[in-house]
Chains A and B, each alone.
Chain A
Amino acid sequence: MNLEVLKRKMDEANYIYDDALATVLAVALQLGRPLLIEGAAGVGKTEVAKVMAAALGRELVRLQCYEGLDESKALYEWNYQKQLLSIQVNQASADKDALTKSLFGDEYLLERPLLRSIRSEEPVVLLIDEIDKADEEFEAFLLELLSEMQVTIPEVGTIRARTIPFVVLTSNRARPLSEALRRRCAYLYIEYPDLEKELRILRAKLPHVDDQLCAQVAVAVQKLRASDAILKKPSIAETLDWAAALDALGVRELTPDALRQTAGFVLKNSEDLAALDEADLCGGDCGCEGHTHGCEGHSHGCEGHSHGCEGHHHA
């Protein structure tokens, strides 16, 4: 799939992207390499896999990683209960070898996401989410799958991929990943979106929300992220939640009061909420129409819907 086709498909999936992101995705697809995506929490890493599944018309198979994840949860597991029942039912059977052999057939194999993704008849998008949460052994275990597109099950042998999945790995950089894993992947780092992109996302995802409010929310979130006083930077999902909450409350303009009342949707810890009060981020700094700081033009907010907020003219 070339870049233009991919862009068209992502447009159809209503996904907001920039040229660099589209190029990286096209490169990973063209080379058939897994794509490792890093970035702060909430910048839309997981969303990339979902959109790729929609754009490519493939099923999304997701493996959520966590500490202690092992192959029995990620690759396969034998159905012990069924095997035991089978042994008891066939205890009288004369051919013990055949019985033993039958216990390790497909019938008793429980497919987990990794195995399912390579045994699928149709190619899928495999999302290995938050790989940094998994242990190092699991990372090493993934190497065979990522480089050779095959896995080895001791009782069955090596299983080669029927179809090649598009693999997306995401990481919040909670711990450094091994060089071996990194070198097998194409790499993408996602930053928080700039004002223009955030505004496009808000408009695309919340078309019913007032355009002026979207612009004010986008500006406010940008300034919160830029503030040193805010430790946990708001994610895109939080921006969307916040705008939706303001809209649901019937707020049409982001005033300092409205910001304080709904700050819990965008700032999720007490230190940040305190910093919002102490630093008086509303004082002409948060993007809301500051009624308290002599801001002229608070009635218009956003001038022109094709660009960012331009309604913040200070006296």
Chain B
Amino acid sequence: MLNPGVYLEKLSLFSRMLRLEGLPVSPRETEDAAALLVSLGFEDRERVKVALRTVYAKSREEQSIFDRVFDGFFVSEETMRRQAQEQMRREAEMAETRRRAEEELKLNGRPIDLTAEQRETYALMPEEAREYLRGIVDRYRDSAAQNPKLYANFIHSVFVKAILEEQLRLEDAGTGVEGLDPDLGLLYRDISQFRDAEIPRAISIIQSISRQINGELSAKRRRGGHSGRLDFRRTIRRGLETGGSLYHLEYRKKRQRRRRLVLLCDVSGSMVQFSEFALRFIQELNHVSENSRVFLFSEALFEADPFSLQNMDRFRDYVRQSGIYGRGTDLGAALEKLCALRPAVLGDASTLMILSDSKTVNQPRALAALREARRLSGQVLWLNPIPEGKWKYVRSVHAFASVCTMVSCSTLNSLAAACRRLAER
């Protein structure tokens, strides 16, 4: 039998590792875990894991983190040795791959001008992608020897494009929680990566989160203080419970000042799914949807009929019938038309919310129109389905983000957070 004392020594280190992974572990939990280890021993590893998980992990998400850390931490010596050998083998393989990649990234003996990060990405690329790039180098080797400047630039641009695509693909790789819980996976995965079969589940997640936000907000408003004026009718009625004594005083509620929400949704090709999900969220939020107007745009602007939006299941059909689906994106034209509408749609009490990936034709015109829209409305909020990590690759994002508040909403979780903030305003 293994002495539990050996593990007790490691327990504080284990707690520290859990903290590093984001679990808020207090000394009390470590103390509880120590008490459990002493009483359970370590004969039944699975039982110890369940017992410690009960103490350390306080939510489903924390449980998945705990399992990962536990499995990596409490391993037998034999497993540890095997893992170390495996790691050494992987590192040796990687070093060899890097060495080969360095050799391949040469044109007529001179290295291709790439950054260290790009070289690393190239080394991680699948063999067939590298073979394709090697083929290009081979094909143009002679031409490059004759006209080095022209062909070196061409080959460099081919490499950079392929490497950039690989970087985007790597960033798209899943979060790792999907295997554990499909709902968690959907919450944290890029909306554009949803498969058709997953959409009903995503919609039910949206409904559940919206219900939650509605509940929280109604509770907040209920306890949101009073106006200071006595509500005689309710005070007298409440007094009946105490034989007519006015034991509890009831006050009039504060009046909520609501902002008018103007939604401008990009429904060009790839954006339609994101716009649909975002609209579903907003439509489900009572506090927001009651006072909003929705405009759809691609090359032209089109105001959505509120009655049609009540049935979101037919949103895509509705967008297709509107005649603006699947066209290019001209944000500038849409914003100009929105600003020019009479009676005015935008005003001091309105919030303009733009749902778009910021890819538009005529960017300078769009930027000028956005400045004008910001001048006319109380505030402008931009929900961008492109993950924040990829903003550096899209030039227009920086330009638009300098004019308004831009929030990345690539996942349902971030979209929910943005809608919650919106509803709380």
Q: List the interface of chain A (C-beta within 8 A of B).
A: 19-20, 23-24, 27-28, 30-31, 33, 36, 38, 67-68, 80-81, 84, 135-137, 174-176, 179, 182-183, 185-189, 228-229, 231
A-binding segment of B239-247, B287-295, B390-398: B239-247
Docked pose: A175 CA to B212 CA in angstroms? 5
Docked pose: A146 CA to B54 CA in angstroms? 17
* A182 neighbours in B (Cβ, 8 Å): 58-59
Docked pose: A142 CA to B324 CA in angstroms? 54
Docked pose: A310 CA to B327 CA in angstroms? 53
B26 CB, min distance to chain A CBs, angstroms: 7
B24 CB, min distance to chain A CBs, angstroms: 7
B414 CB, min distance to chain A CBs, angstroms: 16
Any chain A CB within 8 A of the CB of B201?
A: yes
CB distance A229 to B55 under 8 Å?
A: no
**CB closest chain-A residue, reference B215:** A175
* A174 neighbours in B (Cβ, 8 Å): 208, 211-212, 215
CB distance B242 to A80 under 8 Å?
A: yes
Given the known interface contacts A23-B51, A27-B36, the answer about A36 and B200 at a Cβ–Cβ threshold of 8 Å is no
Q: List the interface of chain B (C-beta within 8 A of A).
A: 24, 26, 29, 32, 35-36, 39, 46-47, 50-51, 53-55, 57-60, 62-63, 197-198, 200-201, 204, 208, 211-212, 215-216, 218-219, 222-223, 241-243, 245, 247
Q: Return 9 A-B CB contacts under 8 Å, by A number.
A: A20-B50, A67-B215, A67-B218, A67-B219, A80-B242, A84-B242, A84-B245, A174-B212, A187-B57
Docked pose: A136 CA to B220 CA in angstroms? 9
* A80 neighbours in B (Cβ, 8 Å): 241-243, 245, 247
* A136 neighbours in B (Cβ, 8 Å): 219
The number of A-B residue pairs with CB atoms under 8 Å apart is 82
**CB closest chain-B residue, reference A181:** B58
CB distance B59 to A24 under 8 Å?
A: no
Docked pose: A261 CA to B60 CA in angstroms? 37
Given the known interface contacts A23-B51, A31-B36, the answer about A187 and B200 at a Cβ–Cβ threshold of 8 Å is no
Given A80-B243, A188-B54, A189-B63, 14 additional A-B pairs, CB 8 A? A23-B47, A23-B50, A27-B50, A30-B36, A31-B55, A36-B58, A67-B215, A81-B243, A174-B211, A175-B212, A182-B58, A183-B29, A187-B59, A189-B60
CB distance A179 to B24 under 8 Å?
A: yes
Given the known interface contacts A28-B54, A135-B223, the answer about A183 and B26 at a Cβ–Cβ threshold of 8 Å is yes
A67 CB, min distance to chain B CBs, angstroms: 6
Given the known interface contacts A30-B39, A80-B242, the answer about A183 and B47 at a Cβ–Cβ threshold of 8 Å is no
* B58 neighbours in A (Cβ, 8 Å): 36, 179, 182-183, 185, 187
Contact of B243 among A24, A84, A186 (CB under 8 A): A84
CB distance A137 to B223 under 8 Å?
A: yes
User: What 8 A-B pairs are tightest by C-beta distance, nearest first?
Assistant: A182-B58, A80-B242, A23-B50, A84-B243, A186-B54, A187-B58, A24-B54, A20-B50
Contact of A27 among B29, B51, B63, B215 (CB under 8 A): B51
Contact of A24 among B32, B39, B50, B216 (CB under 8 A): B50
Docked pose: A110 CA to B241 CA in angstroms? 15
**CB closest chain-B residue, reference A2:** B39
Given the known interface contacts A33-B32, A175-B212, the answer about A187 and B204 at a Cβ–Cβ threshold of 8 Å is no
Contact of A38 among B24, B60, B215 (CB under 8 A): B60
* A20 neighbours in B (Cβ, 8 Å): 50
Given the known interface contacts A30-B39, A67-B215, A228-B198, the answer about A19 and B60 at a Cβ–Cβ threshold of 8 Å is no
* A36 neighbours in B (Cβ, 8 Å): 58
**CB closest chain-A residue, reference B199:** A228
Docked pose: A84 CA to B241 CA in angstroms? 11
Docked pose: A135 CA to B222 CA in angstroms? 10
* B198 neighbours in A (Cβ, 8 Å): 228
* A137 neighbours in B (Cβ, 8 Å): 223
A151 CB, min distance to chain B CBs, angstroms: 21
